[in-house]
Structure 1
């Protein structure tokens, strides 16, 4: 659909525009089902957590009283004009508080410059800088409040344990313990969406759930969140997101879709990856062949990341990257 829309817009361009050399030489359109794993992992960069907590709609977010420190909500436009947001939107959340703290000190230092100014300097300061500083200070306060609200919510939901489970699923370790965590997550009714997300991640990384686990998790979920979710499980199965393992399975929906997109020589690395796999391919083989699971000595450096895995705390490099 995106390709068809792009072609239609291209055809509607007038002759003058067509004569110009395009700024973008190539465009790659990847269907989401090429890489479900990226969408199923928890977001840990600032913008992702803001979206996860407050929901970004049409480029703006509504911050409630817990963020604004007043009895009113405030709609904030999140774009490059918000200098604070622009600098931290893609930062790992563990780095954000340090940045905001330094930003606050810098703003205070700029305010302190007023001391010792003569009348002319004070006039220039008020007319040229004060308004911008006040705006930046207001935005800084909002983002600090948003960070505190995110921290409270994630601490309450035991976010670190959730991330640990996701990483274990991606790396293929402690699958039984991870399954037990998902069961506990469902029984505690922490979040219906997160429970489904974990089940889907387990299914995709393991090429489907063991029939016994599938039936058990499905039963517990329906008992916790209601039988109306029978249709949800049916839709997820049809999409290839939550399936049972079966004898003689061929490529999963994800891998089959990827294999159709890598016919071009420019995608030789991905083509080689799939051609070397057995008939029954799986996430483990793909991630190993394409180095999607970084192997580092010691802890992954989130302050100076060396690849896109930092968006998942160093656990997984999105396939499209």
Structure 2
């Protein structure tokens, strides 16, 4: 006959075996249910995969079509890759949302877009400057206010546009340095495009003496400018009288040339040289700056009311008489010669 302790041990062993069997059967049912659910969902997965593959093929075709259409215009070469990629990823994203909606009908595109909208706001705040430069780059490439190869002035930078990227515009300065200017600054700040037109005007001022013939100087300068190689015949060059300066009559020469900086500087060098040689040949003076110094009591007898206070002597009825430095010099020279 079994003891009570043996009966208790057998009972516990029996209970553990029954519990294990119950857990195993429960796990088997779960696996079976998951298998059944997967098999029920398998057709949807296959359809979703096929739909997603179709969208990938559509994205590839649209990208190639856009690249081909943009390749016809060399000025839009940068737009080719940018819009090709944007279109490719946009169509793939739409295909992904449609595929998810097929597999899980409860997850609608509207719900996905709402979730992505909140995430997009957070990303927008975090990458505000990057997105600003990117959107400005797209607008620059679309509107094309300037092109690669144009010579521009942007802020303190002046040079030739080497490339226009989505983030920045690359400028090669005239001294051989490369500058990356963020597109946000390019789009929101004034830019001077030096090569926007086929002709560019240059000017230079020349001062002639007050005793020289202005008409002769103007005709001499015009003739010299017209004979310089590189000066445009149309519009014609001209010379204007612009100022009566302290020691010269200023004439401004204006002419048109090719807009490239190298041509502008080369033609300017030739024009200035030709003007100098022509004025020298015509015996037209180009005086140095001169000043006339008037000492306080060296005025004329007729120079105003000398009894009133003037600069150099006090007011009164017996003002000093006018004197000239030449008289003083002559008298000093005579006295010095008498001493000798």
Q: Which interval holds the TM-score relative to the shorter structure? A: under 0.3
- More strand by percentage: 2
Calculate the TM-score normalised by the size of structure 2: 0.20
Structure with the bigger percentage of helix: 1
Structure 1 length-normalised TM: 0.21
User: More relative contact order in 1 or in 2 (CA 8 Å, sep 6+)?
Assistant: 1
Q: Whose radius of gyration is greater, 1 or 2?
A: 2
